[in-house]
Chain A
Amino acid sequence: DARVTQTPRHKVTEMGQEVTMRCQPILGHNTVFWYRQTMMQGLELLAYFRNRAPLDDSGMPKDRFSAEMPDATLATLKIQPSEPRDSAVYFCASVPSTGATSETQYFGPGTRLLVL
């Protein structure tokens, strides 16, 4: 049963520290999304990649957030420096590489981040 995996599942850190979240998309999926979920804002798109190239990162605070895809099996989201308002659940999702824009996004279990 192919699944998107995310690590760590939980992270508690102090304000100002760097946080790195990792995502392994489903094998063969070439489009990867990063979302943030909070009670107040719901699910928000931060950035997404296709074939490892960034397509859109307009939802991401650029001064402290960065997203990369070093290879086809790993996507990373970094926050430096972290702030309490970054506390949220961060989800990764991936889409198959058929090229059809109708494909469904499959979500990982999320990384629950708490910044103190």
Chain B
Amino acid sequence: EDQVTQSPEALRLQEGESSSLNCSYTVSGLRGLFWYRQDPGKGPEFLFTLYSAGEEKEKERLKATLTKKESFLHITAPKPEDSATYLCAVSPSNDYKLSFGAGTTVTVRA
């Protein structure tokens, strides 16, 4: 069974204080690892897809990296608007299914 574990559960940062979120996973043949952002009262919003170990993707202050067992989401010099819950999900090969982690709730204080 596919499993995704995210840590920490919650992260409180000062504006400008860079940090990383971890997503460790076990899956039967990785099709893709997905990062989503979710704001309170809204649906998950797609950020990145990573397909193979060593791959990296960036968007504004966010950078996602992937190894064979885990992924990191690095937040560089965060701003209050980066406050959200960040969800990691994996999809096994030849299937559309996503298995989600519990998420990391990030709070950035001005």
Contact = CB atoms under 8 A, between A and B. Distances in A.
Interface of A: 4, 31, 33, 42-45, 48, 50, 55-56, 91, 93, 95, 101-110
Interface of B: 31-32, 34, 36, 42-46, 49, 51, 87, 89, 91, 93-103
Residue of B31, B36, B93, B98 with most chain A CB atoms under a 10 A cut-off? B98
Contacts of B98: 33, 45, 105
Interface centre among A43, A55, A104, A109 (most CB of B within 10 A): A43
A98 to B, nearest CB: 12
A107 B94 contact: no
Contacts of A45: 97-99
Nearest to B32: A102
A45 B44 CA distance: 14
B100 to A, nearest CB: 4
Contacts of B36: 107
Given A102-B49, A108-B43, A48 B101 contact: no
Contacts of B49: 102, 104
